Amino acid sequence: MTAGTQTTATRFSASTAKTPPKLKGGLPVIGHTMAFVKDTIGLLQRTHDECGPVGRFKLFGKDMILFVGPEAQEALFRLPDEVLSPNAAYKMMVPVFGEGVAYGAEPARMAEQMHMLYPALRNNRMRTYTEIVARETSGIIESWGDEGEIEASAFFGMLTNFTSSSCLLGKEFRNEMSEEFARVYYDLERGIVAWGYIHPYLPIPAFRRRDRARARLGEMVSEIVEKRKQSGYRGEDFLQTLMDAEYSDGRKLSDHEITGMLVAAMFAGHHTSSVTTAWTLIELLRHPRFLGEVREEIHRRYADGEDYTYESLRDLETTENAVKEALRIHPPLFILLRAALQDCEILGYRVKKGNWVAVSPMVAHRDDQVFRDALRFDPDRYGPGREEDKRPFAYISFGGGRHKCMGNAFAILQIKTIMAVLLNRYDFDLVGDAIETDFQGLVLGPKPPIRIRYRRRASAAV
């Protein structure tokens, strides 16, 4: 344990550490599992309301301790992996990423692998990604005509699939393998089911399909890596970064590791960005004043046909605040998990080896003490004089501490680019406004169908 963590977490002494308060109710043995499965957010919120910043309930026979509030979240995020482990908590992802990759590797090895992604996230690469996202978005709306209707979750799912596969996997995947890739990726995604918490290699059809898909993806990546090596072509993408990367001992990544890292980046970045883009547009359409301000900022910059460049997009503060606010109200990753590998004490509470520990961006962001009028969509809260996201560990849509999202800047840039291209050319209207959150799956998004009508702006530059 590092010196910096001594203040918040130490091996507890039985005399001083308190047991976290327990949520009322729950059945013998299975505890609150049924309530968790039926209404996860409701259960998390109830734990916070009844127990305060630290609360405990029973899930799948184990204690889960929920930490809510900036101080509690900071205490948790600052602990090293040897004490609170994401790898042990997310081991259902190991067959998807691959043994020895990301959560399937030792913490030090995983940290080295994550570090290898940095060159793919530098400013010069962001410039390339901006061009790709603007080109893909413009390309896809070229066939739209003057007016029509989209189903937003399918539309943004497809669009971010194109942009993510171009930026992460490279143009070969985007141009030659996109259909097969979509099929394989679908089987991988469908292989993430609750059974994985019990054992990630149970002999069930979903896991068999997942394992076949992972093996096929490995072959596809190997094929492209080989072709690139033969031809000397160098991509401006994550694949190239990983092909160039080396461990500290000089060893290059194997094709298995490259595949796993690419899958990890796709899983981390694709669905999360897609649902956030949909929520941003939905929330703006529900809030005409903010929509007007965002549209004005975009038109001022691009109505005359100026290129969508990295620099110009970075300047769109009003649009960025709207994206951030959509992400605060609708954090796609609503619970972040760790497994306690050692007994420890957090904020004076006892956490025992084997406990699950969690923070919930969803519950954290609904606290009026931290975000004024928390349930209201209000992008002004990030503006001068308020800056509610600046309080350390308050705004946690991208997590915090050593495992904070590495792709946050890329994600926000991508969503801003899509918004700029769309709102510069078209006006949009929601058909009905009763859109709810879809609580199926690990990444929460708006529940389809989400019907949105579009109409070309009279003065839109093409």
Q: How far is the CB of 303 from ligand HEM (least distance, A)?
A: 27
- As a residue count, the chain comes to 462
Q: How far is the CB of 219 from ligand HEM (least distance, A)?
A: 23
398 binds ligand HEM (CB under 6 A): yes
Report strand pairing: 356-359 vs 62-67.
parallel
Among the listed ranges 2-10, 191-199, 312-320, 329-337, the one in contact with ligand HEM (CB under 6 A) is 329-337
The one-letter code for the residue type at 83 is V
* Window 60-99: contact mask with ligand HEM (x via CB under 6 A): --------------------------x-------------
Among 20, 55, 157, 269, binds ligand HEM (CB under 6 A): 269
CB within 8 Å of 103: residues ≥ 6 apart: 86, 87, 90, 91, 93, 94, 97, 110
310 binds ligand HEM (CB under 6 A): no
Among 153, 272, 319, 355, binds ligand HEM (CB under 6 A): 272
Q: How far is the CB of 269 from ligand HEM (least distance, A)?
A: 3
Among 8, 240, 276, 321, binds ligand HEM (CB under 6 A): 276
268 binds ligand HEM (CB under 6 A): yes
Q: How far is the CB of 167 from ligand HEM (least distance, A)?
A: 8
User: Please, is 198 exposed, middle or buried when counting C-beta atoms within 10 Å of its C-beta (0-12, 13-18, 19+)?
Assistant: exposed
CB within 8 Å of 22: residues ≥ 6 apart: 51, 55, 56, 57
Cβ 79 vs Cβ 344: under 8 Å: yes
**16: which 2 tokens?**
């001083």
Q: How far is the CB of 53 from ligand HEM (least distance, A)?
A: 19
Among 137, 259, 397, 424, binds ligand HEM (CB under 6 A): 397
Write the DSSP assignment of 256-316 as a string of letters.
HHHHHHHHHHHHHHHHHHHHHHHHHHHHHHH-HHHHHHHHHHHHHHHTT-----HHHHHT-
Site for ligand HEM in 163-202 (CB under 6 A): none
405 binds ligand HEM (CB under 6 A): yes
Q: How far is the CB of 462 from ligand HEM (least distance, A)?
A: 29
**56: which 2 tokens?**
């405990």
CB within 8 Å of 450: residues ≥ 6 apart: 151, 152, 153, 278, 282, 430, 435
256-269: b or e for each residue (b if 16 or more CB lie within 10 Å)? bbbbbbbbbbbbbb
Instruction: Please give the Cα distance from 1 to 435 (Å, whole number).
Output: 46
Among 192, 220, 394, 411, binds ligand HEM (CB under 6 A): 411
Site for ligand HEM in 108-127 (CB under 6 A): 114
333 binds ligand HEM (CB under 6 A): yes
Q: How far is the CB of 337 from ligand HEM (least distance, A)?
A: 6
Q: How far is the CB of 85 from ligand HEM (least distance, A)?
A: 11
Q: To the nearest 5 percent, what fractions of the chain are helix, strand and coil?
A: 55, 10, 35
Query: Which residues face 63 on adjacent strands?
Result: 58
The footprint of ligand HEM (CB under 6 A) covers: 86, 114, 265, 268-269, 272-273, 276, 332-333, 336, 397-399, 403, 405-407, 410-411
